[in-house]
């Protein structure tokens, strides 16, 4: 035990005060500006209506499993793997705008919330709750693991880092590979590593830090659960060194965990230098393992799984039987009257979030962004519902994108800060000329949209917006090509069918003609015979 | 005398062998060039949008590709492909980029056909006209367009006796989710 404690100490103190094991290219040193961390996390009261988009991660429409007028309970499915955030009644299914840079209408379920939880509501079709059947941590056979993954799925667990990738899908292959060696398919020198991303590098977002200060014990339990289930060889929680309070809380929780459970691979606490964008998945993997992940590969191909610290907490909550129906959101920004971190149910409108936290004045006077100043986008419709992707709502005095862009002067500043070794000025050049394939050839899809290039550009060019735009264009072109291939196959198949039918018809005509050609001879005979018979009959009549 | 005869025989033999060999080479070269032509036709065909609309004057994308390669027909006759296709074809064939021949039609945004079902009399004429088999139905039964397979070629419009087919703005892949073009 003391040996293990020493190992943790070494990790915390020796490595923590030095630099992280691996450096990454580029990035920015941005002064942290995390607000509202002195206040505890409040859960904001439920609004009158919740709007739940019927969309999955792949932006496919989901089939609802409830009908209009149904009473629904918290945790009950509205669609497959989509738990309802609160008790209420299904008011309607209609097209509403969802949180997205470009306004988009999509099919949503609108729920009238019934606030009083005491009134008994008849339950509808609710998924079976598997949580109670999962026994202790150490059961690690495949069926228990599959049951656990199924529960994560049913509880609607998605990553809470911002991309909202389904957690169960991320863990699936890893969990089912019993042998650690099969978990590192590509690079065998790499340890099978589970990384918990608590870097939270965007300077003004503080939701993960607030969570770590409030729920360090539960987070550590969640990580322990994940660690035991996926059977990794190394488990790291990485926090930026600008969060001493969170680090202290997590360290305390780790030590407490060590005194209660025996383990060969203790959770390492890795303090990394504060440098944006250390919290981006590919960058953090580079910092922790030294491994660069090309866009054509997934981290899992290199034996690495990266989960957000909020997801680890949600995993623990799910183990306790609680589905993922709310998240912590940072209300921040220079123009936010009362910056704080609050727990918000999915489907709550931005307007309700701001009104119930004393930030109503920000609605009228300032520009509201979903997400932080670097990765977020401006929001105009305040009725947009919060989703598991929304980690921050920030208020700004002026629209940052209103600054006029000047021509690129090829200063190379964007190249120096790009963590993915891209050439942003060159990509911008190709995209401006609508030279899509060239921008793809220069690894446009490696761009993680961190916005470092936007910050340093002396000409105020919105480089990352250009890259988002070009990515969408390329995806559209790929889709068109795919459609063209389908049309070509259908056209060729149709032509083959028409030719076959024509050939069959010609064969049939030829057959009938040949039949006719032989028949006339027989026919004449028949006629002659008939005449002969008729004459014979007449002769017989005359005779008689 | 005998040597002369032998020489003559040998000469004839050599000529015969050389002739046979030359014929063989010639046919092989022919074979080779027709293979090359076929693969060029395939490449050209892949650059065309596969709408199969016949606006170019040929009964489909492949026939037009064959005409371009075999007869050197102009590369600017494809309205659905527009400038993008012309540029791609020009690059492939080493020809100058020329503007679209608008006599054939205008380049339009993606569209799909829909059948106004209350007006459809079930005559099957549109089914026969559809180049990609994207309309289903049977005689005296209502027809409908398989939206995801419709290329928006408009070939079903002329045969319809009751004008119950309309064109609506077409589906796009993820463009509904696209990021707007930056203002600057």
Domain ranges within chain A, ordered by starting residue: 2-28+157-319, 42-114+326-401, 404-544
Topology classification of domain B111-169: Alpha-Beta Plaits (3.30.70)
- Which among B131, B132, B184 has the least Cβ separation from residue A461? B184
Residue A335 clears pLDDT 70, i.e. is over it: yes
Q: Which residue bears the tokens 């440098």?
A: A275
The per-residue pLDDT for range A63-100, each reduced to its tens digit, is 999 999 999 988 889 998 899 999 999 999 988 888 87
Please list every residue in chain A whose beta carbon sits closer than 8 Å to the beta carbon of residue B51. Answer: 487
Percentage above 70 pLDDT, chain A: 87
The predicted structure's pLDDT at residue A402: 58
Query: Which chain A residue is nearest to residue B181, measuring alpha carbons?
Result: A469
CA distance A286 to A142: 31
Q: Look at B40 and A143; give whichever has higher pLDDT.
A: B40
Rounded distance, CA A212 to CA A313, Å? 9
Give yes or no for B183 touching A (CB within 8 A): yes
Cα–Cα–Cα angle for A258, A260, A262, rounded to 5 degrees:
65
CATH 3.30.70.20 domain span(s) along chain B: 111-169
- Does position A444 have pLDDT exceeding 90, yes or no? yes
At A358-415, the pLDDT tens digits run 888 888 888 888 988 888 888 888 999 999 989 999 998 875 555 788 999 999 999 9
B71 touches chain A (CB under 8 A): no
Nearest-CB residue to A476 (from B60, B131, B178): B178
The pLDDT, as a whole number, for residue A523 is 61
Q: What is the pLDDT of residue A218?
A: 93
Partner residue facing A491 (CB), from B132, B173, B180: B132
**CATH superfamily name and code, B34-107:** Electron transport complex subunit B, putative Fe-S cluster (1.10.15.40)
Contact yes or no for A41/A343 (Cβ under 8 A) = yes
Q: Is the pLDDT of residue A177 over 60?
A: yes
User: In this model, does residue A131 exceed pLDDT 70?
Assistant: no
**Residue A127 pLDDT grade (very low, low, confident, very high; cuts 50, 70, 90):** very low
Which pLDDT band holds residue A139 (cuts at 50, 70, 90)? low
ipTM of this complex prediction, to 2 decimal places = 0.81
Between A39 and A136, where is the model more confident?
Answer: A39
What three-state secondary structure class fits B179? Answer: coil
Region for B160 from its dihedrals, namely left if φ exceeds 0, alpha if ψ lies in -120 to 50, beta otherwise: beta
Rounded distance, CA A149 to CA A75, Å? 17
Work out the pLDDT band at A253, boundaries 50, 70, 90.
Answer: very high
pLDDT digits (tens, 9 = 90+) for A296-332: 788 888 888 999 999 999 999 999 888 999 999 999 9
Pick from A274, A175, A299: nearest CA to A227? A175
Residue in chain B closest to A437 (alpha carbons) equals B88
CA–CA distance, A457 with A450 (Å, rounded to integer): 14
Residue among A483, A486, A494, A499 with most chain B CBs within 10 A, to mutate: A483
**Domain ranges in chain B with CATH number 1.10.15.40:** 34-107
Q: A259-287, pLDDT tens digit by residue?
A: 887 777 888 899 998 888 999 999 999 99
Q: Return the CATH number of the domain spanning residue range A2-28+157-319.
A: 3.40.50.11540
Question: Given pLDDT bands bounded at 50, 70 and 90, which one contains residue A107?
Answer: confident
State the average pLDDT over residues A528-534.
Answer: 89
Answer yes or no: are the C-beta atoms of A159 and A170 closer than 8 Å. Answer: yes
Interface test with A, best of B50, B53, B180 (most A CBs within 10 A): B50
A13-17, A19-23, A42-46, A75-79: segment of lowest average pLDDT: A13-17
Both tokens of residue B138?
Answer: 């049977």
Q: Are A346 and A327 in contact (CB under 8 A)?
A: yes
Token output for A20: 């992280």
More confident call, B18 vs A18: B18
Q: Which residues of chain B have pLDDT under 50?
A: 175
């Amino acid at each position: 035990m003391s040996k293990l404690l020493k190992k943790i100490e070494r990790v915390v103190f020796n490595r923590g005060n030095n630099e992280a094991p691996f450096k990454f290219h580029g990035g920015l040193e941005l002064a942290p500006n995390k607000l509202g961390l002195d206040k505890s996390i409040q859960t904001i009261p439920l609004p009158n209506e919740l709007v739940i988009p019927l969309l999955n991660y792949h932006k496919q429409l989901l089939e609802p499993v409830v009908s209009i007028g149904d009473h629904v309970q918290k945790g009950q499915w509205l669609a497959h793997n989509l738990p309802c955030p609160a008790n209420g009644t299904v008011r309607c299914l209609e097209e509403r705008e969802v949180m997205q840079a470009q306004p988009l209408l999509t099919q949503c379920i609108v729920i009238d919330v019934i606030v009083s939880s005491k009134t008994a509501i008849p339950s509808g079709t609710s998924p079976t709750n598997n949580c109670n059947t999962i026994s202790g941590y150490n059961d690690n056979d495949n069926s228990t693991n599959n049951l656990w993954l199924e529960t994560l799925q049913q509880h609607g667990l998605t990553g809470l880092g911002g991309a909202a990738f389904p957690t169960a899908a991320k863990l699936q292959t890893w969990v089912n590979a019993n042998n650690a060696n099969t978990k590192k398919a590509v690079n065998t020198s790499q340890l099978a590593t589970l990384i918990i991303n608590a870097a939270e590098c965007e300077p003004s977002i503080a939701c993960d830090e607030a969570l770590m200060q409030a729920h360090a014990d539960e987070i550590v339990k969640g990580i322990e659960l994940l660690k035991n289930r996926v059977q990794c060889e190394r488990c790291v929680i990485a926090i930026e060194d600008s969060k001493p309070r969170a680090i202290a809380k997590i360290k305390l929780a780790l030590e407490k965990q060590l005194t209660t459970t025996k383990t060969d691979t203790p959770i390492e606490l890795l303090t990394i230098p504060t440098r944006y964008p250390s919290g981006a998945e590919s960058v953090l993997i580079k910092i922790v393992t030294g491994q660069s992940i090309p866009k054509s590969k997934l981290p899992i191909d290199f034996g690495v799984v990266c989960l957000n610290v909020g997801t680890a907490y949600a995993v623990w909550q799910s183990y306790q039987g609680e589905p993922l129906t709310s998240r912590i959101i940072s209300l921040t920004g220079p123009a936010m009257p009362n910056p704080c971190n609050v727990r918000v149910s999915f489907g709550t409108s931005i307007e309700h979030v701001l009104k119930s936290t004393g930030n109503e004045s920000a609605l009228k006077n300032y520009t509201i962004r979903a997400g932080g100043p670097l990765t977020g986008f401006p929001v105009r419709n305040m009725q947009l519902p919060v989703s598991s992707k929304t980690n921050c709502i920030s208020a700004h005095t002026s629209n940052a994108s209103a600054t006029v862009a000047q021509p690129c002067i090829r200063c190379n500043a964007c190249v120096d800060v790009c963590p993915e070794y891209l050439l942003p000025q060159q990509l911008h050049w190709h995209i401006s000329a609508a030279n899509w394939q060239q921008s793809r050839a220069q690894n446009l899809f490696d761009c993680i949209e961190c916005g470092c290039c936007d910050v340093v550009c002396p000409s105020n060019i919105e480089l990352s917006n250009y890259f988002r735009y070009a990515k969408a264009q390329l995806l559209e072109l790929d889709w068109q090509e795919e459609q063209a291939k389908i049309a070509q196959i259908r056209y060729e198949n149709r032509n083959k069918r028409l030719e076959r039918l024509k050939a069959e018809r010609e064969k049939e005509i030829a057959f009938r003609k040949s039949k006719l050609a032989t028949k006339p001879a027989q026919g004449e005979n028949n006629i002659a015979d008939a005449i002969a018979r008729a004459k014979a009959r007449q002769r017989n009549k005359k005779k008689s | 005398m005998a040597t002369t005869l032998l020489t003559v025989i040998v000469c004839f033999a050599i000529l015969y062998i050389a002739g046979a060999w030359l014929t063989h080479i010639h046919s092989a070269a022919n074979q080779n060039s027709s293979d090359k032509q076929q693969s060029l036709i395939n490449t050209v065909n892949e650059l065309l949008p596969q709408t199969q609309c016949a606006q170019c004057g040929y009964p489909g994308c492949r026939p037009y590709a064959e005409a371009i390669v075999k007869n050197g027909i102009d590369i600017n006759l494809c309205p659905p492909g527009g400038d993008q296709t012309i540029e791609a074809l020009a690059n492939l064939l080493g020809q100058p980029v020329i503007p679209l021949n608008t006599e054939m039609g205008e380049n339009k945004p993606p569209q799909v056909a829909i059948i106004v079902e209350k007006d459809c009399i079930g005559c099957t004429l549109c089914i026969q006209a559809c180049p990609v088999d994207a309309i289903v139905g049977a005689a005296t039964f209502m027809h409908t367009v398989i939206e995801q397979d419709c290329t928006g070629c408009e070939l079903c419009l002329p045969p319809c006796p009751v004008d119950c087919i309309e064109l609506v703005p077409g589906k796009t892949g993820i463009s509904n989710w696209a990021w707007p073009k930056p203002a600057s």
